[in-house]
Amino acid sequence: MKLRRYLFGLLIIATVSCGNSSGREKSVETAHNETVLQEPMPVEHRKKEMQQPPIKPILLSEVQYIQLVADFRTSDKKYKGEKPCVVDFYADWCRPCRMMSPIFEKLAGKYGDKVNFYKVDADVSPNISAAYNITALPTLFFIDSKGVTNKIMGFMSEEEMEKAILTIIE
């Protein structure tokens, strides 16, 4: 009998001491009438949940290039997009292209809501490169919403690329 009282007392003490001591937990009853304690979500986690994933450049095939940018097979090559865009012509074997890729992705994340960012692998889509007489990699096209294109060949620093992006944003 004393043992039962002793165990019952320990059970009560354990229940009280493990209860809501911080004042921050919230209890929720489940469908099976079980009570579950939940910690409130920190503010920084709530902000992260509401943020969109970063925008990344889109790798275009020849068909996609024709649909989204311009029909390189025609003489006028009129820009089809509504927003300005940046097109990065690159190759996997090109060291300056590989060095510039993280910069391009970072700026796509920063300006992706105002500018479309595309990549074209010159080895996979040689017809596009030939149509624009691209002889050096990397080559970037900065196209404003009116279709005016600024062609820049060679490696660009982050500052240079960002400056070129800002010139096509209206």
Which one, of 67, 65, 83, lies nearest residue 170 by Cα? 83
Distances (CA, A) of 60 to 28, 109, 116, 121, 122: 49, 18, 12, 8, 11
Do residues 81 and 68 make contact, with C-beta atoms less than 8 angstroms apart? yes
- Please state, in angstroms and rounded to a whole number, the distance separating the CA atoms of residues 158 and 100: 8
Active site amino acids: 94, 97
How many CB atoms are located within 10 Å of the residue 38 CB? 10
Tokens of 4: 């039962």
Tokens of 17: 């001491």
Angle of CA points 151, 116, 100, to nearest 5°: 55
Placement of tokens 């992706």 in the chain: 112
